[in-house]
Structure formats: C-alpha cells, structure tokens
C-alpha cells in the first residue's frame, strides 16, 4: 500500500508543469538525440548514444515518479483554524530571531527557500499547533525551541 502524499496547490501545479515538460518537450528532444547518435555508427562504442539513452532512462523514471505522486496525492486546503497544517505560513521565534516557514508536503520541501516539509523535525513539531504555543524540535544543532507568533 502506498501512503497518501500531501501537496500544496502550488506544489501540485509545479509537478503538473514538470510532467508536461518531460512528456511533451524532453521526450521528443531525447528521441531526436538518440536518432542522431545512431547515425554515428557502432552503438557499443558511441558515447553520445549511451548518454542519450541514460538521459532517456532518467526522464522516463521521473515521469513515472511524478505520475505516482500525483495519483497518490491529496491537495491540502487551508484549514483557517489557526492551527499549523500543510499549506500554512508560520512565523516563529527562536533565540530572539523571527523565521517564516511555508509548511509543505514531503515532496515539496526546500528549506533554503523557506519551504519546510511537514515531515521534517521542525515541520513535524509545528503541525497542529497554534499561535502562542512553544514547540521543541531536534535539529542537527540539538534541540531548538520555537514560539509560534503567527499562522496564516
């Protein structure tokens, strides 16, 4: 059984665009590259052909992966309850510093962009909490305490 995947509306749209690009642009490009490489003769010693085939395998694998994610996903709706859930924007304070996170599904996490996976230690600690609550999360630097200042 495959676990259900939670996506934000933006995350779902991003995956759909990537899938469209892979199917309708990249597949054609790689097919043309393979045909061109075949014209160069002996395929067993043709680096261009081998590279194109490897790229084709990667593209096909990614298409299957995205299709599976989309098939097994549910799009998070804003709860409006003031609690932290996937799709929430959360302002927290830790050690006198305010940080803003967008809580996203596990396939969307990009911490450097402020996109915090609900499955990450901090995301997990914040899930279901409300403004004013403090949470402790085990991070690489040790346990860090975050006070929730705002949830939208």
What's domain 89-151's architecture? Roll (3.10)
**3 confidence band (pLDDT: 50, 70, 90):** confident
Distance CA 5, CA 19 (A): 17
Distance CA 45, CA 146 (A): 57
Would you list the domain boundaries of the chain? Answer: 5-75, 89-151
pLDDT (tens digit per residue) in 92-106: 999 999 999 999 998
pLDDT (tens digit per residue) in 30-68: 999 999 888 877 666 778 888 999 999 999 999 999 999
Mean pLDDT score of the chain: 91
Instruction: Write out the CATH class of domain 5-75.
Output: mainly alpha
For the entire predicted model, the pTM comes to 0.78
Element housing 134 (H / E): strand 134-139
Report, in angstroms and rounded to the nearest whole number, the Rg of the chain calculated over CA atoms: 21
Domains 5-75 and 89-151 share a fold: no
Distance CA 9, CA 81 (A): 18
């Amino acid at each position: 059984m495959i676990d259900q995947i939670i996506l934000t509306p933006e995350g779902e749209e991003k995956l759909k665009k990537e899938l469209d690009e892979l199917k309708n642009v990249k597949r054609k490009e790689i097919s043309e590259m393979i045909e061109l490489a075949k014209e160069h003769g002996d395929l067993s010693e043709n680096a261009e052909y081998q590279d194109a085939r490897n790229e084709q395998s990667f593209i096909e694998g990614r298409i299957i992966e995205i299709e599976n994610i989309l098939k097994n996903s549910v799009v998070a709706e804003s709860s409006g309850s003031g609690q932290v859930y996937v799709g929430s924007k959360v302002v927290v304070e830790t050690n006198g510093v305010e940080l803003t996170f967008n809580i996203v599904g596990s396939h969307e996490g990009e911490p450097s962009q402020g996109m915090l996976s609900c499955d990450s230690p901090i995301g997990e600690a914040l899930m279901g909490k409300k403004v004013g609550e403090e949470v402790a999360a085990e991070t690489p630097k040790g346990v860090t305490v975050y006070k929730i200042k705002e949830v939208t």
